[in-house]
Chains A and B, each alone.
Chain A
Amino acid sequence: MNDAHWLPIIFVGLTGLAVVVYAILDGYDLGVGILLPMDSPAEPHRDTMIASIGPFWDANETWLVLAIGLILIAFPAAHSVILTNLYLPVAVMLIGLIMRGVAFDFRAKAAIDHKLAWDRCFKFGSLLTTFSQGYMLGMYVMGFQTHWMSQLFAILSAFGVTAAYSYIGGAWLIMKTEGALQEKAVRWTRNSGRATFAGVIAVSVVNPLVNPGVFNRWFDFPLVMFVLLIPALCFFAFIFNDILLARLPKAKDRHCWLPFVMVIGIFVLCFSALAFSFFPDIVPGQMTIWEAASAPKSLMFILWGAIVVIPVILMYTALSYKIFHGKATELHYH
């Protein structure tokens, strides 16, 4: 085993970690944006919802920069192929990210009569971002083919990701809010959970059918007995969560954190399944991690830094969540 062999494996692992952490963290704050109720009596609810993600959204988006940065650092050839193929959806996503990021701050500072407009901007930006991310995921899985079947699949994936982010966003709100808003959040979470469930099943059926490599990977006896644990666990997590949500909120707000944890579990499982489908390809069907990797010396240089710095990042991230633990109604700006 030499450096050129194992370094790309470590880096694809780190990239995967960054992607899944991004999907969870920015997933919940994009989800909160998507769920924003726009009728005027709901304004206090909007304030609380946005306050619940206030201290976190900036750091959450940084995981996207880290993920794209890791691909850029470790697999520059793949970075070029992926981003050149996804040119327009990336541009749309960036516009969405810009809109929601600035709306977040402008809404608090603009004249009162502009606040609603910025809230719309926040919701629309969140939707645009989520939808283009889902579309890109679909295109990536289809190996960037452009015929109508893959376009259709990508659009299906866009709806799936939108449902999934609403799911985790709703679960976040159950944990961070109380009263009428929490009851609303329980309903949102339940509905979007069912939509996510449908989406995951659709993708799981279509993906192995259109990608023969994926089919062989999954249905390879005897491995199949073991790997089918992933969809099985995922299935039970969905069902369990649905039953749990029917009973929330409970007295003394017991288990208000549990749906969020369950959804994190579902995200991790779905991501593992995707990773298992394509490893060691970094661009499905086109390029392996070894073909795309940078020079070992460069990877070594950044790896040492990552080993030192990432635990520190995790520590102060945990500190931040500890400081802002509790219901979002308690959050003041500045």
Chain B
Amino acid sequence: MPVKNKPTPASKKTQAAKPSQDARPSQDARPRQDAKPKAARPQAPKPAAPAKLDGSKTIVEFMKKAGVEYVFGYPGGAVIPLYDALYGSGLRHVLTRHEQGAIHAADGYARASGRVGVVFATSGPGATNLVTGLATAHMDSVPLVAVTGQVPTTSLGSDSFQEADIYGITIPITKYNYLVKDPRTLPDVLAEAFHLAGSGRPGPVLVDVPKDVQISLIEAGEPKPVDIPGYCESPEPDPAALETLSLALGLSQRPVIYLGGGATIAGVAKDILTLAERLDMAVVATLQAKGTFPDDHPLSLGLPGMHGAKYANLAINESDLIVGLGVRFDDRVVGNVRRFAPMARIAHVDIDPAEIGKRLPVDVAVVGDLRRVLAMLLAKVKMTPRPEWRRRLAELKRLHPMVVPPSQGAIKPQAAIKALSDRCAGEAVLVTDVGQHQMWAAQRFMSNKPRHFLSSGGLGTMGFGLPAAIGAQLARPGVPVALIAGDGGFQMNIQELATIRQYNLPVKIMVINNGCLGMVRQWQQFFFSRRYSETIFEYNPDFAALARVYGLAGRRIEKPSETIDAVAELMDAPGPALLEVVVEREENVLPMIPAGMGQTDFFEAAEEDGQ
């Protein structure tokens, strides 16, 4: 039997002899070459003796060369040498108020920019505070490098003060991780870590650096070219599979592109637009792909799955060809594998071979970088108008419109989000937290550009939004960044308001205050006969006042008539500002397909629920 090796790499060795922070190599974002002289060297260098740097300086100098713009982090005992090397180094550091805040900020930075986000934390509790952030980034394929301090190698394994086996803890939630025991390997480890984080299917990489490694002197020098024998960042697409896909596209009458985060990462918005328009394909886009195909395009059907519009799921149900591009067919979209798109052939394009056939069998699979695959595909497929399908899509939209429900006194959260969307007019980067507000935003906030809608999808991490907005604002200084958060999740990293203020980041925050853990309350209403077990907040702080205490502008509204004006005030505020919108408590996210159900099994909320 032939040896089944990893797919042939397009190029065996990476050209990245120099570390690169870019998730995608692109001309404009190559690593900045060492413009500045290195940190002070001895005045009279002894001849022949190679320069030495300690581990900490090695890390800092490496990051500067790699073009790292910001490090997000929080110091502690095991990283004092690292922070000492940072001091006055010119590498910019953002001090958050919690390590979880730091890693979500690095994540938001990475999602908004496409570059590798960097986070530092100390050993033990500092490192374990990164866990949620690593898992969040891992699920959504976000490129991160986390550097953690560790107890000295001589104390490893002895339960010493602030020792935690962060290497062991993070194996399942990182793309790869390192415990650096030999200081001499540090330059190569760093080069590999950045390469792994940003290439192929991106993901978080953790580098655990014991304190003695941080202070050991090692010879300064360029890392070796990255060469990881079994790692294939860009598998070569199989021409036969591509041919089959292009034939299937030609034969289909009702094709649907099912667009995922992989398309956002690959930076192929233009090609997708060309493909969809040339072949008259409907496009549904997951949370991670929102904006990568313009929401306001006639062929766009928005979010598929559990909280997608009816027309999106009905179109999937009627389709005869689903083309998944950089998707996972995950359970929030494909609730029931057997009932998904019963009339359709399924094609799947992904850079990760392990995604093919993971949840459901596919008819055509192309493994490769979407950028290459789409370029090859576009060279094959010809203009194919499908007026019948377009008519049907328009009809579905007309029959099942996504409306904003009318107010019965209180502000409808959907209306507040719609007002923010109208005000932002597709220009702002929108960050969300997790819950009902997230789904209303996904349904109703108009996004027309890639990397302009940032949300924790795969892990659904409450508390992600506020710190991620910090990272996004630093990544896109000239662009308005808005955050929509719930009253629950906002309190999960609320301490980062101080970070916003300290760095004067003009983030605009809308807190949708429904006085409850709305999404869980909704499930309890629908599936647990309204037994609201621990989902109602009997106390909430005055969020607007709280914002003011942190030095942000703060306003609270309760009447529908105030919405438009308050949203304008929020977005026009010169600095950071918060708008607390007190909304209808028992509002639900609809439509809804209950977990495990098929694309047309819409949950019909009872009349009494006012839907």
A complexed with B: no
Chain A interface residues toward B at CB < 8 A: none
